[in-house]
Structure 1
Amino acid sequence: MQEILNIAAYKFVAIDDALSLQGELRARSHSLGLMGTILLAPEGINLFLAGAAEAVRGFVAFLHADARFADLETKESWSAAQPFRRMLVKVKREIIRMDHPAIQPAAGRAPGVEAQTLKRWLDQGHDDAGQPIVMLDTRNAFEVDHGTFEGAIDWRIEKFTEFPQALLDHRDQLAGKTVVSFCTGGIRCEKAAILMREAGVADVLQLEGGILKYFEQVGGAHYRGDCFVFDGRRTLGPDLAASGNAASARAAEDPDIAIKQ
């Protein structure tokens, strides 16, 4: 029986009280019996949480009461057991490290494409303007090896801080195409899409909500394999159930690894 609700969420928004907010979120999450990781930084919030459905949704309601997070959207999945071992609330320099300070998503994000629209484009082989689609996987190589979209570009990066150089090295691959950047839950492809637009790639979109939202809304069409997640479940299939494929145990042990989307 799937009794544990798992959520992933992030938002790029200016936060100037991260230390006091850290204390509030730590107290609230502990009082509700939640486990997972929350990262706070001047650029926003990034979280993975799991627990009883009423407790998780109560925590989300608490966040929504803060005007900065009123429109925070979550990706949901269910598990039979708690996939996290502890509850951590950390203050960091970035909620997803790119080491590229000029990229400020809170100041303006790249356009996105919803899962249903992307599926239709992939079904027909082009976007609504007739331009070919190229899917760009912004995740680390070991994540990609568990599953990705059919024909997706994979630059074999080992960590997200390598993405800016990979773009410089391979930008010509993207010319004349509508580029859809994607990742697990949306946070990395959001930064990647902004960087590509600033680098002169003309037609760039980000997949709204990443692979997890795509699975939730349209299933596994045009996707092959599973999606690696940074918790004890390791991988999820297109039905958002744990698929049982083994992966590196470091994801469940290292809080800085176990918070990527």
Structure 2
Amino acid sequence: MQEILNIAAYKFVPIEDSATLREALRTRTHALALKGTILLAPEGINLFVAGTEAAVESFLDGLRADARFADLEAKKSWSAAQPFRRMLVKLKREIIRMDHPAIQPADGRAPSIDAATLKRWLDQGHDDAGKSIALLDTRNAFEVDHGSFEGAIDWRIRKFTEFPKALRSHREQLAGKTVVSFCTGGIRCEKAAILMREEGLADVLQLEGGILKYFEEVGGAHYRGECFVFDGRETLAPDLSARSNGASARAAEDPDLMIKG
């Protein structure tokens, strides 16, 4: 029986009271017996949390009571067991490290595309203007090896901080196309899309909610394999069922690995 609700969520929003918020979230998550990781930084919040449905929904209600997070959207999946071993709330410089301080998503997002529209474009082989689509996987190489969209561009980066350099080396692959950047939950492809627009690429979109939201809304159409997640489940199939083989123990113990998006 799938009794544990897993949520992944993030929001780029200025946070000036990180230390105070950290203590409040620690208290709240422990009271609800939740486990996972929450990252707080001046640029926003990034979280992966799991527990009973009632506890998780109560946590989300409390978080959304803060005006900064009122519109926070969570990707949801279920598991038979708790995929995290502890609850961590950490302060960071960035909620997803890019080492490119000029990129500030809270100042304005890149345009996005929803899962249903992307599926329709992939079905027809072009966007609504007839342009070719370049699907750009912004995840690390070992994640891509577990699964990705058919024909997606993979620059074999080892960590997200390598993305700016990879973009400048390979931007000709994207010229003249409608670029759709994607990642696990949306956070990396959001920063990537902003950088690409700042680098002069005109038609760049981010997949809203990433692969997990795509699975949730349209299933596995045009996707091959599974999606690596940074917790004890290891990978999720397009039906959002876990496919863990126990090889993710390191991810389940390392909070900086667990919180990719």
TM-score tier (shorter): over 0.9
Shift of 1:141: 0.2
Shift of 1:253: 1.3
2:66 equivalent in structure 1: 66
2:161 equivalent in structure 1: 161
1:51 equivalent in structure 2: 51
Secondary structure in 2 matching 1:7: strand
Secondary structure in 1 matching 2:255: coil
Cα distance in structure 1, aligned partners of 2:119 and 2:85: 36
Contact 2:230-2:248 within 8 A present in 1 as well? no
1:141 aligns with 2:149: no
- Listed as ranges, the matches of 1:1-261 within 5 Å are 1-245=1-245, 247-261=247-261
Shift of 1:251: 1.1
Letter in 2 for 1:30: H
Shift of 1:217: 0.1
Shift of 1:244: 3.2
Q: Give 5+ residue unaligned stretches, structure 2.
A: none
1:56-93 Cα offsets, whole Å, 9 max, x none, are 00000000100000000000000000000000000100
Shift of 1:246: 5.5
TM (norm. structure 1) is 0.99
Between the aligned residues of both structures, percent identity stands at: 79
Shift of 1:202: 1.3
Shift of 1:249: 2.9
Letter in 2 for 1:23: E
Contact 2:50-2:82 within 8 A present in 1 as well? yes
Letter in 1 for 2:189: C
Contact 2:127-2:133 within 8 A present in 1 as well? yes
TM (norm. structure 2) is 0.99
Letter in 2 for 1:194: I
Shift of 1:247: 4.0
